[in-house]
Amino acid sequence: MARFEVIAPVAERWDRLPRAVRAVALLALLVLLVILPHLKIPVLNTPDSDFATVLFYPVGIYVLVALGLNVVVGEAGLLDLGYVAFFAVGGYSMGLLGNRVHWPFFLILPVGIALSMLAGVILGGPTLRLRGDYLAIVTLGFGEIVHLVARNTDSIGGPRGVSPIPHPPNFNLFGYHVRFGILDPKPYYYLLLAMIVLTIVVVSNLKRSRVGRAWTAIREDEDAAELMGVPTFRFKLWAFAIGAGIGGAAGVMYTSKVISISPDNFIFQLSILFLAAVVLGGSGNIPGVILGAAVVAYLPERFRSFAQYRIMVFGAALVVMMIFRPQGLLPSRRRAKELLEPEPGGGMGTLGGETGVEMAPRPEAESAP
């Protein structure tokens, strides 16, 4: 338990800082992120691949995806093992609408988000009555279905996928010519950064709203939430849709740079890495989730020189981190308390929760003398 206290004072001290100081600090952080692709920091750099490219993918994309998955897993407490499906829906929206219909990027982006949200509702509608592990299995299946459909449908490219895929249009911004080409990853990085900032604003406002309080209540005790008058099913569906929309946005963004996609860009392993990012960083805490995603995405790139051993080293690092900080790098204070409380049934990670166990009628014989 002493471990919780390592980070909690930092968060509390941050809360106590004057508003102006916090604003300046955030602004400084933003400036750092803007100049980051131009910096050559010795240790932080990736010696075997272009640093700015790594900042876009995997790091930036993972951060955006993790922000979306955090709505589902961290806020509403719904375990999703097939989140890559929404990333894929966004990716294929960009690929197909760009390649076949020649829509411009800035039209495809909202359409891709809408389609991903629709996919979230299609998945959630029939399955969100399930809880905990059962829901996790269904989402896992959904991820596989999307992957297999993409692989086996020739009209959307089958196993070969879609190519070529157009880039976002070039434009002038304050006299600076922004060119989305093949070589320079920076414009993509900045566009992604803008999307991440926007997502953070939206998600953290949602978190503080009536919707956010409903999610917290559902996560902590779904039955009790229902008894308080929270329409739990509707809010779980919203969590799925919003999470899916953000995942879809990341898919559109990713695909707009890579020229070609195939079903193998959207494999199950990604779902697990996304989930690892959320849990490792601190499920339910936005700064934590961002940090987790950055770490999960960055480490394998940093240690590319270890060749195939890098994944093994990465796995070992994950295991060690989960042993010493099971609550995540920057845990949410709420979640830390929830971890201490045995769940009465239903929440993430309980087998079945309530499945009629309570009501097994007592056999007559049991009435002892």
Partner 1 sequence: MPDGAQPGQSGASPLLELDNVQVHYGKVEALKGISFNVNEGEIVTLIGANGAGKTTTLKTISGVRPLTRGHIRFQGQDIGAVPPHRRVEMGISQAPEGRGIFPGMTVRENLDMGAYARRGKARAGLAEELAAVYVLFPRLQERASQMAGTLSGGEQQMLAIGRALMSKPKVLLLDEPSMGLAPKLVAQIFSIITEINKQGTTVLLVEQNAAQALQRASRAYVLEVGKVVMAGPAADLLDNQAVRAAYLGGDIAGDDGNGATSGHSGSGGSGGSGGS
CB of 5 to partner 1, least distance (A): 14
> Are 284 and 74 in contact, with CB atoms under 8 Å apart?
yes
- By beta-carbon proximity to partner 1, the closer residue of 11 and 224 is 224
Q: Are 79 and 348 in contact (CB under 8 A)?
A: yes
CB nearer partner 1, residue 15 or residue 358 = 358
Residue 9 tokens read as 């004072």
Q: Compare residues 163 and 355 and give the one whose CB is closer to partner 1.
A: 355
The pair of structure tokens assigned to 232 is 């739990």
Residue carrying structure tokens 């997502």: 199
Nearest-10 Cα torsion for 144, 150, 154, 155: 140
> Least CB distance from residue 260 to partner 1, whole Å?
45
CB of 337 to partner 1, least distance (A): 4
Residue number with CB closer to partner 1 (38 or 362): 362
Least distance (Å) from partner 1 to the CB of residue 70? Answer: 16
| Closest distance to partner 1 from the beta carbon of 12 (Å) | 13
Write the CA distances from 93 to 113, 182, 193, 263, integer angstroms.
Answer: 9, 20, 21, 13
For partner 1, the closer of residues 75 and 301 by Cβ is 75
Of 79, 70, 16, which Cα lies nearest the Cα of 212? 70
User: In angstroms, what is the minimal distance from the CB of 244 to partner 1?
Assistant: 24
Least separation in angstroms between CB 355 and partner 1: 8
Q: By C-beta, is 310 or 333 nearer to partner 1?
A: 333
Question: How far does Cα 324 stand from its chain's mean position?
Answer: 23
Q: In the complex, which residues of this chain contact partner 1 (CB under 8 A)?
A: 210, 213-214, 216-217, 220-221, 223-232, 333-338, 340-341, 344, 356, 358-362, 364, 366-368
Distance CA 244, CA 248 (A): 6
In the complex with partner 1, the residue whose CB is nearer, 48 or 343, is 343
Do residues 115 and 259 make contact, with C-beta atoms less than 8 angstroms apart? no
Q: What is the DSSP letter of 74?
A: I
> Among residues 211 and 296, whose Cβ is nearest to partner 1?
211
Q: Are 129 and 67 a contacting pair, CB within 8 Å? A: no
- Nearest to residue 335, comparing CAs of 13, 76, 130, 134? 76
Q: Would you put residue 366 in left (φ > 0), alpha (ψ -120 to 50) or beta?
A: alpha
Q: How far is the CB of 218 from partner 1 (least distance, A)?
A: 10
Percent helix, strand, coil in the chain (nearest 5)?
70, 0, 30
CA distance 24 to 18: 10
